[in-house]
Amino acid sequence: MKNKLEPKIIHFVKLSFVIDIDQQVLRQTNKPEHEISFIRDMTDMGDHYLLAWDPEKQTVSTDPERSEPLIIDQLVWLDPEGMSEKYGIPVEKLQTMRDFEVIVDQEALTQRREGILPQIDLAGEAFTIDLQLQELRNTKYFFPVISLKSFELTNDGWNYEAYYHPVMKQVVDLDPKMLEFPEGVIKLKIPNELGLDPVATARIYGMDEREVLRRHPIQKNLKAEVIPLSETHIPALIQRNKEALRQAHQENAQKVKPRHRPRF
């Protein structure tokens, strides 16, 4: 088992900050709620970051007239061991790289900029992701085509879910009054647009590509999470439907039952 790396701490303007590689932030050691984001609060100048600092409030400046520029090193220099552990790149190689090159797979980015669309594995078959058309196309046969609009966004907004029939290769609607499990149907969970294709998402919504990619790097080997129906709300739904049907039968039986026994 690898030993957990000790967090790196940097000091500037008489304050000390813990470097959080995962969140790409600096967190004040004696005031953890005070965070400075490398993405949101700094400008990536390539070989360093530029931070507008308010010396009076000792935080990120929102007033240009009261700010002073601070130069912050790249993460590959501030915490090379942490970056090496997270991204699997030798420390020696990191010294010739910049943060954007490490965090964002440059080969995948080049391919995407050249028009090669990403793919995702849906229950064992590759589908091409086309956010412009809002669809997933079978990569090998180009058909069937699955509309992303047939998926439902999860409550947290980070994923899409749908019931799926792997043989039909289609999203299906389930009967809300079902009394048994639909044969061959599973549930799929896939990332939202940012996880599926951050480059296309940035273009469609007019966002800064580099900033989007820093937050949501291109994911290789995308694969839908397959969720058996037994692990969803379906068993409870079937149980409720059976109970409702049983009660309905009992009520109907009471209605047709004679109130008095006939006399002969």
- The model's pLDDT over 136-172, given as tens digits with 9 standing for 90+, comes to 999 998 888 999 999 999 999 999 999 999 999 999 9
**Residue 75 near residue 83 (C-beta atoms within 8 A):** yes
pLDDT (average), residues 219-248: 94
DSSP tag of 13: T
Q: Comparing C-alpha atoms, which of 190, 186, 179, 191 is closest to residue 232?
A: 186
Confidence of residue 250 (pLDDT cuts 50, 70, 90): confident
Burial letters for 19-40: b for 16+ Cβ neighbours within 10 Å, e otherwise? Answer: bbbeebbbbbeeeeebbbebbe
Q: Give the model's pLDDT for residue 66.
A: 87
Q: What are phi and psi of 194, to 5 degrees?
A: -65, -35
Q: For the chain, give the mean pLDDT.
A: 93
Please choose, from the candidates 73, 72, 70, 94, the residue with its C-alpha nearest in 3D space to the C-alpha of residue 83.
94
DSSP lists the bridge partners of residue 147 as: 135
Share of the chain above pLDDT 70, in %: 95
21 pLDDT higher than 70: yes
Query: Would you state the pLDDT for residue 263?
Result: 62
Please give the Cα distance from 37 to 244 (Å, whole number): 54
pTM, rounded to two decimals: 0.84
